[in-house]
Structure 1
Amino acid sequence: MDVSDYSNELQAYLLGHGDDLLTHIIQFNELMMRYQAAIKEVSTKLEILKSDFQMRNQRSSIESIQSRIKKPASILKKLSSRGIEANLETIRTQLSDVAGIRVICPFIDDIYQVAEQLAIQDDIRVLRVKDYIQNPKPNGYRSYHMILEVPVFFMDNKELMQVEVQFRTVAMDFWASLEHQIKYKRDIPDAEELVRELKSCADIIAETDRKMLELRRRMEQQKGSETEKCPLEFPE
């Protein structure tokens, strides 16, 4: 691929490190491998919580677990936008979302329960939380974000790696995915009206989430009452 095919930030970085570019690429790939290892650590913890919850409650608290490593061009663009020199050290110390995990839950209370159970594990350190469910963004975006620090053991050392975990309901993820596609379309007429419509859709989806949670709780209460009326009987 020609250098002109890259973003401006990535192009400048490559041109500025022509003499030792191979060394930079090797070191960068090693760092990304370490972030990938951190994702595996946190994903495994989430899978265990999912299985344990399902065993105890006969339903799943997690619909899916998705992960990604931020692309080189995105990393350099974010550092450039903050006026920070791009190198391996600044990637590690200035960016907390290089490694990302998205957890899709059926209901709002599942989000808080899974997040709490993940946070109390003794080898997890919660660095930062942003609750966009209780405090949505102006455009209507809702999600629960956690920046975690997790130890990862390699052949010769242990490193503390940061991972961003985003929790959403199925409905929140549906809205965010469509909003992302629309936002990056160019030359959209009536942009302000579009923003208002997206906010309205986000509010409708949030109300749907609340209604679905209420319905599930009512069904669980009814099931509990029926169980109390029909206790198990064991033969003598």
Structure 2
Amino acid sequence: MTYSGEVTVGGPADVHELKDLMITKIAVGPMNNNAYLLRCRATDEQLLIDAAAEAQALLGTIGDDGIASVVTTHRHGDHWQALAEVVAATGARTYAGREDAEGIPVPTDVPVDDADVVRVGNVELTARHLVGHTPGSIALVYDDPHGHPHVFTGDCLFPGGPGRTTHVEDFQSLMGGLEAKVFTLPDETWIYPGHGNDTTLGDERPHLQEWWARGW
């Protein structure tokens, strides 16, 4: 079946099968968060992005092979409600942006800075530090050698605009970071956000000036 990225809380996961990486997307409640399970096809090692909620649903998706690591994209509570239980069950290493680590109640084993590499098996993900939604939000870029890039943006980029910001300075910082570190990628780049449906940079790029003008 063709991957759509359209998932609902309580519904089935959707799987994006790439040559070197399998990406399983699942929605969990009560805030309709997305969690992403990445599996290296060469080694079968797994990594989870955002243990957001519903630990048992996440553990069921992870399966008996467990996970080597879990990355929290940012410190907002709806993105780590299941983190303690998932880590206790799997022994996974924890990763988070350095500036957000203190706001996550589960200790961060590996603080992540801009351009750091996070590995899952033979696959490398490059972190992009984006300031604005939170001080330490990170996006993860998988530059697929067999195709276009794939980016896990947390709450920094959605279909229709950037994530929520509180102050003008935060909005300007987030937009500047997105333009400098994400929108430099090609239009085919697939975007996996922290909530809702996926998008591509090509779909969003024409609206950048509109977002700047509206201020959110």
TM, length-normalised to structure 2 = 0.27
Quick check: which has more Rg, 1 or 2?
1
Higher relative contact order (CA 8 A, sep 6+): 1
Structure 1 length-normalised TM? 0.25
